[in-house]
Amino acid sequence: MANPAELFGNNVFNMKAMREHLSEATVKSLNETIKTGKSLDANIADEVAEAMKEWAVSKGATHFTHWFQPLTGATAEKHDSFIVPDGEGGVVCKFSGAELIQGEPDASSFPSGGLRATFEARGYTGWDPSSPAFIKDNTLCIPTVFCGYHGEALDKKAPLLRSMNVLNEQICRLGKLFGVEAKQMAFATLGAEQEYFLIDTELYAARPDLQLTGRTLFGKEPAKHQQLDDHYFGAIKTRVIAFMEDLDATLWSLGVPSKTRHNEVCPAQFEIAPVFESLNLSVDHNMITMEVLRKTAERHDFVCLLHEKPYAGVNGSGKHNNWSVCGPDGKNWLSPGDNPHENAKFMTMICALIKAVDTHADILRSSVATAGNDHRLGANEAPPAIISVFLGDQLTDIIEQIEAGGAKSSKNGGHIHLGVDTLPTLPRGNTDRNRTSPFAFTGNKFEFRAVGSNQSCAGSNIVLNTIVAEALDEISTKLEEANAAGKDFNAALQDVLADIIKTHKRVLFNGDNYTAEWEAEAEKRGLPNVKKTPEALKAMTTEKAQKLFSKYGVLSEQELASRYEVYMEAYEMLIGIEAAASVDIAKTMVVPGAVQAIKELADVSGVTGKAVKALCAQISDHLEKTLAACDKTAAAKGWADQIAGMDELRAAVDTLESLVPADLWPMPRYEEMLFL
Ligand code: ADP
Ligand code: MG
């Protein structure tokens, strides 16, 4: 294996490549732009473009592309070669600053949710210098935002960057109140753990449902799957480790800091996790990771399934969104500090998160609402659709003390600070773990576990950044008012935090989120429990959501409305595709198999007894049910009836699978697909 340190970033126009290919002054100027978000000095664009091209061509690149993230949830690219005719029958390779900074892909086929009908059909891509260019498929990829003529966001990156700016502002404002010396911009950090399944290419090719919808629409539960927990963290099979080695090497060369790999709970399920990075970069890297997962799988005769629930009845795949904040002092603000002062800031952050998540649980839920994720949330391995926050015993104890009038002792710590510094010293390395909570504090970050494996992380982090910024805004406003009125800072802070806790503690839950008791308790507390995407997405259409996103300039009312439309339409379309595929597969594959089974049984009915006749009748009965459910599904109008039809159809088909001889069953079974 190649040395990771030598491999890392080989295909990235990173600091090292910049220093080699650019003048010192240009590196400095570009670095300023990257670090501070200051707009790019237009004078250096040509030099940077030329250097990028030289570097890329030296590595075999022939094309460049503006790489962006439209609302489809995937990434998009249109390649242009570097060639320019030289007038003598030959060509030279050129790449200008203008080409680097802005592109104009034909955008008419990307979903815009009506935005472009109102404005103009054009779409523009604009360079995001904070995410470095990289080479894949011999193409120089330039990360870009994708906007309409008037700057309206048609993608996921533009609002993500806006939300990062807003969070930066509010974090710095709070920092000022705590006397933090600002050395840099504050930014959210993200480490996205990615779960996925692998399946043999040959088996995949025999499952039209997987090919068309990413999940199995039929399939009887096998006798053995994950019950024995013998796959989780198990020794990795030879073929799979070869795939993983290839995967890591490719990711490292693309500058993706892939760190952890292991077998997941379900057989044929795995996880990859990176070292966390600045949010924008980490989101890009997760998008790259998903693509590299798929492509690397192909080279190893696998198909990588990123669907949230490829197989019913066993674990689905999520994406654990580990989120924190790196403050203007360069420190993690969700890490308990060394002194009471820092801990006061830490507890303020915790309270801001509680306030944000409780106030906007509906919007956070809407950010993970997809057809695929509906199968996962609330199943027995994934967090429920109820958004609650896990803090662990120790922090909960301190929260309760603050609510009661000021924290004086830490449950396990023993450090007591009285008087001015009313908050205790908190031991580091909070080891409490709760794997069932959708939003869990894990010692120095919050882990949002409801994100679907196939989703871009952008959506949930746009929401997280914005709702936390709003909470911080309100907290800082109160503290500033208290300051202006000459009130004692610590006393004012105590009051503000106690108020937040009183109002929002209903969102705190340390118990088992998978139980029916919690569902009942959550209902009593008035927490929303929205199970289906169409209802969850409605949270994007409320006045509360419009005010939130437009107040902070993250999404205008129109941009927000367009997103609702795009996601809702995608949902309805997908359910429609699933319904049509279900009917088609049932009629053209399952029914003929079952008819053949009846024929074979009928052939021997003269010489067999009652049991065989009964079996024949049973198959016939479920065949009738299958055909009736086909008609019902095909005739269904709208997603709710289509889902009801598909449920009925699946029940009939899965029963047939348990009755029809294996050699007549027209598709690979779960037991074949789940074990590699
Ligand atoms: P777990 O026990 O939940 O698996 P890990 O320490 O392995 O916890 O971290 C899981 C993910 O969280 C990794 O991708 C890691 O890089 C990320 N992570 C760690 N610290 C931070 C942070 N400060 N901000 C964002 N993500 C982080
Ligand atoms: Mg984790």
Cα separation, 617 vs 553, in Å, equals: 65
Q: Is 63 helix (H, G, I), strand (E, B) or coil?
A: strand
Tell me, yes or no, whether 147 and 173 share the same domain.
no
Structure tokens at 397: 């104890």
User: Tokens 């091209």 — which residue?
Assistant: 53
Check: CB of residue 300 under 8 Å from CB of residue 239.
Answer: yes
Q: Which atom of ligand 1 is nearest to the CA of 324?
A: 24
Q: Which atom of ligand 1 is nearest to the CA of 332?
A: 23
Is there a domain that residue 563 lies in? no
Identify the residue whose C-alpha is closest to ligand 1 atom 17.
Answer: 191
- Whether 373 lines ligand 1, by a CB cut-off of 6 Å, is no
Tell me, yes or no, whether 541 and 624 share the same domain.
no
Give every CB contact of residue 85 below 8 A, 6+ residues apart in sequence.
Answer: 91
Boundary residue ending a domain (522, 555, 588): 555
Helices 591-603 & 639-659, crossing angle to 10 degrees?
30
Is there a domain that residue 436 lies in? yes
Boundary residue ending a domain (521, 555, 589): 555
Identify the residue whose C-alpha is closest to ligand 1 atom 2.
Answer: 442
- Whether 282 lines ligand 1, by a CB cut-off of 6 Å, is no
Structure tokens at 415: 């450090």
User: CB-based burial of residue 662 (10 Å sphere; 0-12 exposed, 13-18 middle, 19+ buried)?
Assistant: exposed
CA of 193 to the centre of ligand 2 (A): 7
Cα separation, 255 vs 248, in Å, equals: 10
CATH of residue 17: 3.10.20.70
Tell me, yes or no, whether 480 and 593 share the same domain.
no
Tell me, yes or no, whether 387 and 508 share the same domain.
yes
Cα separation, 180 vs 512, in Å, equals: 38
Mutate to test the pocket of ligand 1, among 445, 449, 468 (most ligand atoms within 8 A of CB): 445
pLDDT tens figures, 35-56: 877 778 888 999 999 999 999 9
Sign of CA dihedral 622, 624, 625, 627: positive
Is there a domain that residue 306 lies in? yes
CATH of residue 302: 3.30.590.10
Domain count, the chain: 3
User: CB-based burial of residue 620 (10 Å sphere; 0-12 exposed, 13-18 middle, 19+ buried)?
Assistant: middle
Which residue, among 287, 111, 264, has the nearest Cα to 190 in the 3D structure? 287
Q: Strand 269-274 relative to strand 446-448: parallel, antiparallel, unpaired?
A: unpaired
- Whether 322 lines ligand 1, by a CB cut-off of 6 Å, is yes
Tell me, yes or no, whether 587 and 500 share the same domain.
no
Structure tokens at 542: 């409320």
Is there a domain that residue 238 lies in? yes
CA distances from 231 to 224, 434, 481, 624 (A): 12, 21, 56, 39
Tell me, yes or no, whether 523 and 667 share the same domain.
no
pLDDT tens figures, 192-228: 999 999 999 999 999 999 999 999 999 999 888 888 8
Tell me, yes or no, whether 627 and 523 share the same domain.
no
pLDDT, residue 383, reads 87
Check: CB of residue 189 under 8 Å from CB of residue 171.
Answer: no
Is there a domain that residue 571 lies in? no
The residue segments making up the domain with residue 583 are: 578-674
Low pLDDT (below 70) residues in the chain = 116-121, 406-432
Boundary residue ending a domain (523, 555, 587): 555
CA 157 to chain centre: 13
pLDDT, residue 41, reads 82
User: CB-based burial of residue 102 (10 Å sphere; 0-12 exposed, 13-18 middle, 19+ buried)?
Assistant: middle
Strand partners, 153: 147
CA distances from 472 to 167, 329, 333, 476, 543 (A): 9, 17, 13, 6, 21
Tell me, yes or no, whether 220 and 320 share the same domain.
yes
Q: Which atom of ligand 1 is nearest to the CA of 444?
A: 23
Which residue, among 133, 131, 3, 5, has the nearest Cα to 59 in the 3D structure? 133
Cα separation, 216 vs 669, in Å, equals: 10
Query: Structure pTM?
Result: 0.95
Tell me, yes or no, whether 482 and 621 share the same domain.
no
Check residue 451 and report its DSSP letter: -
Strand partners, 76: 68
Tell me, yes or no, whether 88 and 122 share the same domain.
yes
pLDDT, residue 607, reads 81
- Whether 534 lines ligand 1, by a CB cut-off of 6 Å, is no
Q: Is 336 helix (H, G, I), strand (E, B) or coil?
A: coil
CA of 528 to the centre of ligand 1 (A): 28
Is there a domain that residue 181 lies in? yes
Which residue, among 267, 254, 323, has the nearest Cα to 293 in the 3D structure? 254
Is there a domain that residue 193 lies in? yes
Q: Which atom of ligand 1 is nearest to the CA of 274?
A: 14
Tell me, yes or no, whether 441 and 506 share the same domain.
yes
Tell me, yes or no, whether 500 and 472 share the same domain.
yes
Is there a domain that residue 564 lies in? no
Report residue 79: phi and psi, to 5°: -85, 140
- Whether 191 lines ligand 1, by a CB cut-off of 6 Å, is yes
